[in-house]
């Protein structure tokens, strides 16, 4: 119930953090869908790559920067498990996203090869699941 | 985790479905705006069906668990932020369904043109850029964002 009583100064960073996370979830889902259906048209490989560059990565930055902003406002004792999950999914996620973006670019350059698009689909789907786990941990704060 | 935590998780999951689905629809609609061939436009608009499922589920889940949360926490049903959120929820659903219907008609036209030679069409181009359809869809998304802001600031609570 403590979450119900939140200082006003936390609201803007929380709004931006949640907005970034929601946009990231939608954009990574769009990437997975486009790459997963790209055997129907090479156009979808370009859509997946452009979504990664223009929506996924900026959303990640918004989510991560606003998350750090609100963390600097809150006085959280120690490092609870739910916060660890958020940091791991956030920070390790950047590596996954950068690798996915590079492979996505490669898939647009080599339309005759199917493995790059399949890899983009797998990595984007994996990261989508990780984001949903982080959403569960950071909202429900199990063990807090 | 207590009952409040579970209700909040499920409510927020609905919000992720709603706004995440809107982002998926936005990505494929914007990509379609940049294409000329009807077959490509039909393919991209066809992918927004995934988004429609997520948005519809999100609307239902946010409302159901949101109302349950109001009851569980004991917020006033007449609180301005709750009344405004419910009004925006209804507006978002209505505007989104009207915009979605126009986009469905555009997809059907694109599929028909694709089967008839797949040549670029001024009519399809105009339909894709129909200001009414775009205004309806973007207004629906903005209403959902306004609900998110109300949920966080809870003015008057």
Quick one: pLDDT band at residue A2, thresholds 50, 70, 90?
Answer: very low
Residue with tokens 């709004």: A15
Give the residue ranges of chain B where pLDDT is below 70.
none
Class of domain A10-72+80-140: mainly alpha
Q: Give the chain A residue nearest B21 (alpha carbons).
A: A26
**Token output for B111:** 């599929």
- Give ipTM to 2 decimals: 0.93
Count of CB atoms situated within 10 Å of the CB of A101: 20
Q: Give the chain A residue nearest B44 (alpha carbons).
A: A44
- List b or e across B2-31, with b for residues whose CB sees 16 or more CB atoms inside 10 angstroms: eeebebbbbbbbbbbbbbbbbbbbbbbbeb
Residue with tokens 């936390």: A10
Distance from CA of B7 to the nearest CA of A (A): 9
pLDDT of residue A81: 84
pLDDT of residue A4: 55
B81 to A15, B77, B86: CA distances (angstroms) = 16, 10, 9
pLDDT of residue A5: 57
The CA-based angle A126-A128-A130, given to 5 degrees, is 70
| pLDDT, mean over chain A | 91
The CA-based angle B88-B92-B95, given to 5 degrees, is 130
Name the nearest CA neighbour of B48 among B59, B38, B56. Answer: B56
pLDDT of residue B156: 78
**Token output for B134:** 């775009």
The SS3 of residue A107 is helix
Residues of B with CB below 8 A from A4's CB?
73
Residue B22 to residue A29, Cβ atoms within 8 A: no
CA distance linking residue B153 with residue B147, whole number of Å? 10
Cβ contact B14:B61 at 8 Å: yes
Cβ contact B48:A51 at 8 Å: no
Residue A1 to residue B4, Cβ atoms within 8 A: yes
pLDDT of residue A8: 80
**Please, what is the angle between helix B131-153 and helix B80-115, to 10°?**
150
CB contacts < 8 A (A, B): 95
What DSSP assignment string belongs to B2-38?
-HHHHHHHHHHHHHHHHHHHHHHHHHHHHHHHT---H
Distance from CA of A106 to the nearest CA of B (A): 20
- For residues A22-40, give the mean pLDDT: 96
User: Which of B5, B21, B148 faces A19 most closely, judged by CB atoms?
Assistant: B148
Distance from CA of B68 to the nearest CA of A (A): 15
Cβ contact A80:A141 at 8 Å: yes
CA distance linking residue A92 with residue A100, whole number of Å? 13
Residues of A with CB below 8 A from B50's CB?
29, 33
Distance from CA of A47 to the nearest CA of B (A): 7
Q: Which residues of B touch A (CB under 8 A)?
A: 1, 4-6, 8-9, 12-13, 15-16, 19-24, 26-28, 31, 35, 39-40, 43-44, 47, 50, 54, 73, 145, 148-149, 152-153
Q: Which residues of A touch B (CB under 8 A)?
A: 1, 3-4, 8, 11, 14-15, 18-19, 21-23, 25-27, 29-30, 33-34, 37, 40-41, 43-44, 47, 50-51, 55, 132, 135-136, 139-142
pLDDT tens string A66-105? 999 988 887 777 778 888 898 899 999 999 999 999 999 9
pLDDT of residue A73: 81
- For residues A26-35, give the mean pLDDT: 97
Residues of A with CB below 8 A from B62's CB?
none
pLDDT of residue A111: 86
């Amino acid at each position: 119930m403590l979450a119900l009583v939140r200082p006003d100064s936390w609201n803007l960073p929380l709004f931006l953090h949640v907005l970034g996370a929601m946009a990231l979830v939608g954009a990574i889902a769009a990437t997975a869908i486009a790459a997963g259906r790209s055997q129907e048209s090479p156009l979808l490989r370009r859509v997946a790559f452009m979504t990664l560059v223009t929506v996924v990565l900026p959303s990640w930055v918004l989510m991560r920067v606003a998350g750090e902003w609100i963390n600097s406002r809150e006085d959280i004792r120690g490092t609870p498990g739910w916060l660890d999950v958020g940091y791991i999914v956030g920070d390790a996620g950047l590596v996954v996203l950068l690798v996915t973006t590079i492979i996505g670019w490669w898939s647009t350059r080599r339309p005759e090869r199917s493995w790059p698009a399949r890899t983009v689909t797998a990595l984007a789907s994996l990261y989508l699941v990780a984001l949903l786990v982080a959403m569960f941990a950071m909202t429900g704060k199990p063990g807090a | 985790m207590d009952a409040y935590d579970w209700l909040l998780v499920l409510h927020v999951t609905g919000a992720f479905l709603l706004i995440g689905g809107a982002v998926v629809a936005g990505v494929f609609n914007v990509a379609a705006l940049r294409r000329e061939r009807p077959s490509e436009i039909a393919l991209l608009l066809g992918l927004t069906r995934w988004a429609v499922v997520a948005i519809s589920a999100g609307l239902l889940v946010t409302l159901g668990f949101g109302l349950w949360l109001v009851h569980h926490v004991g917020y006033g049903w007449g609180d301005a932020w709750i009344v405004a959120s419910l009004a925006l929820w209804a507006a978002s659903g209505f505007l989104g369904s009207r915009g979605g219907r126009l986009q469905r008609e555009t997809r059907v036209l694109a599929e028909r043109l694709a089967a008839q030679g797949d040549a670029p069409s001024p009519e399809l181009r105009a339909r894709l850029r129909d200001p009414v359809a775009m205004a309806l869809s973007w207004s629906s998304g903005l209403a959902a964002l306004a609900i998110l802001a109300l949920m966080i600031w809870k003015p008057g609570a």
